[in-house]
Amino acid sequence: MNNDEEQYLSHARNEITEHYVYHALARREKKPENKALLQKLSAHEKTHYEFWKELLPGIDPKPHWFGRWATPLLASVFGVTFTAKWMESHEKNSTATYRAMLPALPAPHKERLQKIIEDEQSHEQLFIGQLREKRVAYVGFVALGLADAIVEITGVHAGFLGVTGSTLIAGISGVIVGFAAAISMGSAAYLQAKQDPDKSPVLSAFITGISYMVSVICLALPYFLIHTMLAAFVTSASVGIVLLAAFTFYGAIIFDRKFVREFAESASLMLGTALATYLLGKVVGATFHIGSQSF
């Protein structure tokens, strides 16, 4: 098998894998409009597969078994919209490869490959953009709770790093402040959702509050497990960075944003807030002669 045939085989395997994935997602989808869109995407990928298969006479390319079975499981956790957009994001590189292959193909194949490129660039993105999923509609409320909690509670912990050496006090303070803030954020989300007839105010408040408290618990846990203040803070801040990175990546895929820029902004805000509250804690500790003793 020469280099060209190896490329054809790789593209064929990718396309047939995505055909099976979209087919599996369509079978599980309950919304008729989403099911129809997923079926169209599945049919597109099958057509693309058949094109590459024609260039491989006597070969029957098989799908990637892991991708075929694991990707629908990904959709169960993160949703159909995320999964579809994640899959299509990988095809941007394929489109560039397809364009590079155009000059070497015979005219009939060249025209068909050009149609595949158009499918990848416009039609499939159009179909995916029409998917409607409830969890996506509430992503903003998850972001509201999670991002605000990471910035605020990391700031609280950083402030106590400058005041006291007690990890227990820092951890408890973070939980108490976080609990009050979760109620406040949930109330704000409730009032905000009341202005939107497509969203449930109660569900919006619940999602925001729960997202906030989950973040608070994750950030406070190191303070109950580690008894050195600096080590607990570094661990907690690292957890915050990981949470920010994970959710920023999810949002970047869903809303077609730049991950690096979004993550850099969020992380800078978190670390900047932590530095400011740490300095404030040092000033308060020195002013009121609060030592670094443990309790």
pLDDT in tens, 137-191: 788 788 878 989 999 999 999 999 888 889 999 999 999 999 999 999 999 999 9
pLDDT at 294 over 50: no
- Does residue 135 contact residue 79 with C-beta atoms inside 8 Å? yes
Are 129 and 143 in the same domain? no
How many residues make up the chain in this entry? 295
Residue with tokens 């409607």: 132
144 and 257: one domain?
Answer: yes
Is residue 275 in some structural domain?
yes
pLDDT at 1 over 70: no
pLDDT band at 277 (very low <50, low <70, confident <90, very high): very high
- pLDDT by residue (tens digit) across 216-273? 999 999 999 999 999 999 999 999 999 999 999 998 888 888 899 999 999 999 999 9
The pLDDT value recorded for residue 191 is 92
- Per-residue pLDDT reduced to its tens digit, 28-71: 998 999 999 999 999 989 999 999 999 898 899 999 999 999 99
Decide which of 71, 101, 134 is a domain's last residue.
Answer: 134
Q: Where in the sequence is the domain holding 200, given as residue range(s)?
A: 138-287
| Same domain, residue pair 190 and 109 | no
Whether residues 227 and 266 share a domain: the answer is yes
Domain with residue 75: its CATH number is 1.20.1260
Considering the domain architecture, whether residues 128 and 60 belong to the same structural domain is answered as yes
The token pair at 189 is 């989300």
- Tell me how far apart the alpha carbons of residues 13 and 76 are, in angstroms, rounded to a whole number: 23
Domain count, the chain: 2
Using DSSP, state whether 1 is helix, strand or coil.
Answer: coil
Top pLDDT among 3 and 234 is at 234
| Span 278-289, pLDDT tens digits | 999 989 888 887
**Residue 189: inside a domain:** yes
Average pLDDT score over residue span 4-8:
87
Decide which of 131 and 122 is more confident.
131
Domain shared by 157 and 129, yes or no: no
Please answer whether residues 149 and 212 qualify as being in contact, where contact means their C-beta atoms are separated by less than 8 angstroms: yes
On whether both 123 and 39 belong to a single domain, the answer is yes
Q: What are the tokens at 264?
A: 């850099």
pTM: 0.83
Tell me whether residue 123 is in a domain. Answer: yes
Decide if 253 is inside a domain.
Answer: yes
pLDDT of residue 57: 87
145 shares a domain with 70: no
Is there a single domain that holds both residue 104 and residue 124? yes
Domain contains 292: no
Query: Residue 18's pLDDT is what?
Result: 92
pLDDT on residue 32: 92
Ranges of H-type helices in the chain: 3-28, 32-54, 65-78, 80-101, 107-118, 124-129, 134-137, 139-161, 167-193, 201-225, 229-255, 259-287
pLDDT class of 124 with cuts at 50, 70, 90: low
Residue 24 lies in a domain: yes
The last residue of a domain, from among 117, 134, 151:
134
Q: Write down which residue in 109, 134, 159 finishes a domain.
A: 134
Pair (166, 201) in one structural domain: yes
pLDDT score at 68: 92
| 295: in domain | no
Which two structure tokens, joined as six digits, stand for 96? 């560039």
Residues 23 and 45 in one domain: yes
Q: What is the DSSP string of 125-194?
A: HHHHHT---HHHHTHHHHHHHHHHHHHHHHHHHHHHHTT-S-HHHHHHHHHHHHHHHHHHHHHHHHHHHT
Tokens, residue 32: 């008729």
Q: Residue 294: inside a domain, yes or no?
A: no
In terms of domains, do 127 and 74 share one? yes
